[in-house]
Amino acid sequence: MFGELLAKKQIKYPFLTLRNNTKKSFTQDNNKILIDDFYYSTQFNKDLYNNNVNTFQTCNRYLRKNLLRNHSNCIKQFWQLLKSDEEEFPDICPYAYAYINWRKTLLKTEHFYSSDTRSSVVARSGGRHGYELLTNAITDDIKLLLEEYVLSSKGKQVNKDTLVWIQEQWSYRFSLAFFYDCLKYANDTLLHGKKHTDWDKILMSTKANFKIAFKYQEIKGKRAKGINFKMYYENTANTKIPEHQCPNHSLRRKRAIPKMKSYLPARISMDYPQNYELINYVSSYIKKQDY
């Protein structure tokens, strides 16, 4: 049996146009689950969610350690709403702006700001059988891809490891591609505001142009049965990173950030409950940056 998996938006990209490929083989009889378990099993839902969490964290670590290693303080500044006393909020670093809005859009969190900048795990709600993922914005895309594979297997069982691998590859590569697009538009969005463009539009543009395809073949032999996968994709390793002007490039500005205070809404409500001018200023700033 021979099958092809093409995400809905990728049909226009034939395999030959995607020069990079990765191969993976699975033993067909190992770690199988029923087709009904794919749709309804609480344990499988939990396992797939946790696997997606690990995939996102892998992508997140790559970005923070490589592309954003010089902007950790910038990210903390914008994320925790840091500023000096009696001063306005400082200029936002485009790299921090791209990163934080990439996370917010991909995970569909309520706010861009947070007091806990180390945690990236959002608890499962348990409300969507089979398809609840941490990367909420691409849940339906993963659902479509996995369903195509499950339905093409034409059996009562499917290899669980293949489902996990497809999720890992698609989620990781899409998340990277989406970040590159966020970074591309970050400076323009900072200069012109939400009317110029917004992050949801950037997400949809990334989906429309994301190039990836899967091809698989079931091997039936006398001794063992297996499944060979090949993934074709557009390599992002050589993507040119936009050069933006970071407002914290000077040593003086970098040293000032750790000395700043956080002005998160919950904190100022407790520390300055009667300072309505400050409360309104912070609310106005958040409204301008949030969407």
55-102 residue pLDDT tens: 999 999 999 999 999 999 999 999 999 999 889 999 999 999 999 999
| pLDDT at residue 73, as a whole number | 94
* 239 vs 44, residue with greater confidence: 44
Whether residue 218 is contained in a domain is answered as: no
Mean pLDDT confidence for 182-202 = 82
Whether residue 240 is contained in a domain is answered as: no
Radius of gyration of the chain (CA): 22
Per the structure, the complete domain to which residue 122 belongs is given by: 31-212+248-289
How far apart, in whole angstroms, are the C-alpha atoms of residue 38 and residue 79? Answer: 37
| pLDDT at residue 118, as a whole number | 61
Which residues, listed in sequence order, are joined to residue 82 by a DSSP beta bridge? Answer: 262
Whether residue 153 is contained in a domain is answered as: yes
pLDDT for residue 120 is more than 60: no
- Amino acid present at 230: K
How many domains does the chain divide into?
Answer: 1
Range name among 32-46, 56-70, 201-215, 225-239 with the lowest pLDDT average: 225-239
How far apart, in whole angstroms, are the C-alpha atoms of residue 205 and residue 201? Answer: 6
Whether residue 48 is contained in a domain is answered as: yes
Whether residue 18 is contained in a domain is answered as: no
| DSSP-assigned letter for residue 17 | G
The token pair at 13 is 């990209």
Whether residue 259 is contained in a domain is answered as: yes
Whether residue 257 is contained in a domain is answered as: yes
How far apart, in whole angstroms, are the C-alpha atoms of residue 54 and residue 60? Answer: 10
Backbone angles phi, psi at 172, to 5 degrees: -65, -50
Which residues fall within 8 angstroms of residue 142, CB to CB, at 6 or more apart? 52, 131, 133, 167, 170, 171
| pLDDT at residue 151, as a whole number | 83
| pLDDT at residue 84, as a whole number | 93
Range name among 4-13, 184-193, 214-223, 237-246 with the lowest pLDDT average: 4-13
pLDDT digits (tens, 9 = 90+) for 134-182: 999 999 999 888 988 888 877 778 888 888 999 999 999 999 999 999 9
Max Cα–Cα distance, the chain, nearest Å: 79
pLDDT digits (tens, 9 = 90+) for 240-282: 778 899 999 898 998 999 999 999 998 888 888 888 999 999 9
Strands of 142-222 (E only): list them: 157-159, 212-220
Average pLDDT, the chain: 82
Whether residue 230 is contained in a domain is answered as: no
